[in-house]
Amino acid sequence: MPTALITGITGQDGSYLSELLLKKGYRVVGVARRSSTINTERIKHLLDDISVVQGDLQDQGSLLALLEEYKPEEVYNLAAQSFVPTSWNQPALTGDVTALGVTRMLEAIRFVNPKIRFYQASSSEMFGRVQEVPQKESTPFYPRSPYGVAKMYGHWITVNYRESFNIFATSGILFNHESPRRGLEFVTRKISDGVARIKFGLAKDLRLGNLDSQRDWGFAGDYVEAMWLMLQQEHADNYVIGTGETHSVREFCEVAFSHVGLDYKDYVIQDERFYRPAEVDLLISDPSMARASLKWEPAVAFKELVIMMVDADLERLKKG
């Protein structure tokens, strides 16, 4: 039975990737940092089947010890300070975790077992002020936030450990992917939760920032399959993963509100608090390489995704 070690196990992608790897017969070891309250909500249904162990990307020793103890064949580095607005408030912490954390994990791999296959969760935020439309593996980067800058470091250090030490180090450049398990502060989940609250009379309006920014949104459950496929290839590489479609925040609102028979214009208020110092206006992927070499295709389309998220929040609030 192969062993996979996943950092960021308590996050959105950690939960979907664990489900996938368990189905494929892996032993799953998930790394979580210590917290004073329980934050295993997204993996509570998996806790009998996976091992959750303590470790932190800010602590080199903890990563070395985990690789020594659990001897994984594959490491998926999903942990990060992943919220773009927070990266302006805590830029140094974002750099330490999201950028240098990657080096710490790669160093642990180099010292403990350089044969480990490594996946780095890179991001379309590296394209930032886009230099080409759509964006593919060769598109030059122009990050627009401390988060984007940190991810760019993580990407390049991954490429460098591949080229310098012959480590199987792959960088998945994933465009936005969402689900009912998405954090409540990200715009898609903020909208689906807001719609459900308004529908049940628990809120009067929904305050958002820039409604015109456009994203290539897919379903997280589809994207973790691409991560696994990347580590099953003969060689490590960089892969863009997305749907190849883009939609505005406004369109997301339209579909989400109309699903419950409401008009978003009656409820959405634009609030300056949610604008960013620098915006990424338009992201759209060209996932041709993943389609050709990984044979990967996303299964869930935009409208289905919005409806899935709104329905899940309606259900959750009904139960609550």
- In the complex, the smallest distance separating the C-beta of residue 209 from ligand GDR, rounded to whole angstroms, is 3
Catalytic residue flag (residue 297): no
230 sits near ligand NDP (criterion: CB under 6 A) = no
Encoding tokens for residue 188? 């898609």
| Footprint on residues 33-52 left by ligand NDP (CB under 6 A) | 33, 35, 39
Using the structure block, give the residue that is written with the tokens 């505005």: 248
For the residues of 239-267, what is the DSSP string, one character each? EEE--S--EEHHHHHHHHHHHTT--GGGT
Q: Does 123 bind ligand GDR (CB under 6 A)?
A: yes
The distance of Cα 24 from the centroid of its chain, to the nearest Å, equals 21
Is 197 a binder of ligand NDP (CB under 6 A)? no
Determine whether 70 is an active site residue.
no
Q: With beta carbons less than 8 A apart as the criterion, state whether 104 and 155 touch.
A: no
Please answer whether residues 220 and 182 qualify as being in contact, where contact means their C-beta atoms are separated by less than 8 angstroms: yes
Choice between 149 and 208, CB closer to ligand GDR: 208
Q: Does 9 bind ligand GDR (CB under 6 A)?
A: no
Q: How far apart are CA 106 and CA 118, in angstroms?
A: 8
Position of tokens 């180099």?
110
Per the listing, tokens 């591949």 go with 162
Nearest to 42 by CA among 194, 225, 184, 242: 184
- Interaction residues for ligand NDP, span 70-99 (CB under 6 A): 78-82, 97
User: Parallel, antiparallel, or unpaired for β 51-54 and 27-32?
Assistant: parallel
Nearest distance from residue 232's CB to ligand GDR, in Å?
A: 23
Cα four-point dihedral sign 217, 222, 225, 226: negative
Q: Which does 7 bind (CB under 5 to 8 A by kind): ligand GDR, ligand NDP, none?
A: ligand NDP
97: partner contacted, choices ligand GDR, ligand NDP, none (Cβ within 5-8 A by kind): ligand NDP
- Which listed residue (125, 178, 225, 251) is catalytic? 125
**Region class of 26: left (phi > 0), else alpha (psi between -120 and 50), else beta:** beta
The smaller minimum CB distance to ligand GDR, of residues 215 and 259, is found at 215
Query: 235 or 273: whose CB is closer to ligand GDR?
Result: 273
* Interacting span for ligand GDR (CB under 6 A) from 23-31, 224-232, 274-282, 291-299: 274-282
CB of 141 closer than 8 Å to CB of 292: no
| Under 8 Å between Cβ of 178 and 305 | yes
- The residues with which 239 forms a beta bridge, in sequence order, are 172
Question: Smaller CB distance to ligand NDP: residue 170 or 176?
Answer: 176
- List beta partners, residue 240: 173
Three-state SS for 27?
A: strand
Q: Which residue is nearest to ligand NDP (CB)?
A: 11
Answer yes or no whether residue 171 interacts with ligand GDR by CB under 6 A. Answer: no
Q: Which of 144, 162, 181, 190 binds ligand GDR (CB under 6 A)?
A: 190
Does residue 87 carry a catalytic annotation?
no
Check 123, 179, 192, 285 and give the catalytic one: 123
Contact (Cβ atoms closer than 8 angstroms) between residue 56 and residue 64: no
Given the residues 16, 147, 161, 264, select the one marked as catalytic.
147
**Binding residues for ligand NDP, total number by CB under 6 A:** 26
Question: Which residues bind to ligand GDR, rule: CB under 6 A?
Answer: 82, 84, 123-125, 175-176, 185-188, 190, 208-210, 213, 215, 249, 274, 276, 279-280
Residues acting as catalytic residues: 123, 125, 147
Question: Which residues bind to ligand NDP, rule: CB under 6 A?
Answer: 7-14, 33, 35, 39, 56-58, 78-82, 97, 121, 123, 174, 176-177, 183
